[in-house]
Amino acid sequence: MAAGKKTIIFDLDGTLIDSLEDIAVCMNQVLKELNLPIHKIEDYRYFVGGGISVLVDNALKGYSNEIKEEITKKFKVLYDQQLHSKTKPYDGVYELLDELEKLDINLAILSNKPHEFTLQYANSLFDKYNFKEVHGQKQTIPKKPDPIAAINIAKSFDANCEEVYFVGDTMVDMQTAKNAGMIAIGVLWGFRDEKELSEHGADFLITHPLEILKIINDK
Ligand SMILES: O=C(O)COP(=O)(O)O
Q: Is 193 helix (H, G, I), strand (E, B) or coil?
A: coil
Cβ of residue 50 lying under 6 Å from some atom of ligand 1: yes
DSSP string, 100-136: HHHTT-EEEEEEEEEHHHHHHHHHHHSTTS-EEEEEE
* Radius of gyration for the chain, computed over Cα atoms and rounded to the nearest angstrom: 17
- Does 180 contact ligand 1 (Cβ within 6 A)? no
The Å distance, Cα 12 to ligand 1 centre, comes to: 6
Give yes or no for residue 137 CB within 6 A of ligand 1: no
Write out the chain's pLDDT in tens, 219 residues. 444 799 999 999 999 999 999 999 999 999 999 999 999 999 999 999 999 999 999 999 999 999 999 999 999 999 999 888 899 999 999 999 999 999 999 999 999 999 999 999 999 999 999 999 999 999 999 999 999 999 999 999 999 999 999 999 999 999 999 999 999 999 999 999 999 999 999 999 999 999 999 999 986
Ligand 1 center–CA 34 separation, angstroms: 25
Rounded to the nearest whole angstrom, what is the distance from the C-alpha of residue 125 to the centroid of ligand 1?
A: 16
| Closest ligand 1 atom to Cα of 191 | 9
Ligand 1 atom at minimal distance to the Cα of residue 170:
9
H/E stretch holding 89: strand 88-89
What pLDDT does residue 218 have?
83
Q: Is 178 in the pocket of ligand 1 (CB under 6 A)?
A: no
d(CA 142, CA 72): 19
Indicate the DSSP class of residue 180.
T
Check: CB of residue 190 under 8 Å from CB of residue 34.
no
pTM here is 0.96
* Contact between 40 and 64 (Cβ < 8 Å): no
51 CB near ligand 1 (under 6 Å)? yes
The three-state secondary structure class of 24 is helix
Ligand 1 centroid to residue 95 C-alpha, Å: 22
Q: What does the pLDDT read at residue 2? A: 43
Task: Name residue 51's amino acid.
Answer: G
Ligand 1 near 6 CB (within 6 A): no
Domains located in the chain, CATH noted: 7-18+87-218 (3.40.50.1000), 20-82 (1.10.150)
The interface predicted TM-score (ipTM) is 0.95
Task: Establish whether residue 113 lines the binding site of ligand 1, counting it when its CB lies within 6 angstroms of any ligand atom.
Answer: yes
3-state secondary structure string, 139-169?
CCCCCCCCCHHHHHHHHHCCCCHHHCEEEEC
How far does residue 111's CA lie from ligand 1's centre (Å)?
A: 5
Helix then strand then coil, % of the chain, to nearest 5 = 45, 15, 35
Instruction: Point out the ligand 1 atom lying closest to the alpha carbon of residue 52.
Output: 3
Question: What pLDDT is recorded for position 219?
Answer: 66
CA 154 remoteness from chain centre: 17
User: Cβ(90)–Cβ(18) under 8 Å?
Assistant: yes
Cα–Cα dist 148/142, whole Å: 7
Q: Which of 18, 43, 48 to mutate to test the pocket of ligand 1 (most atoms within 8 A of CB)?
A: 48
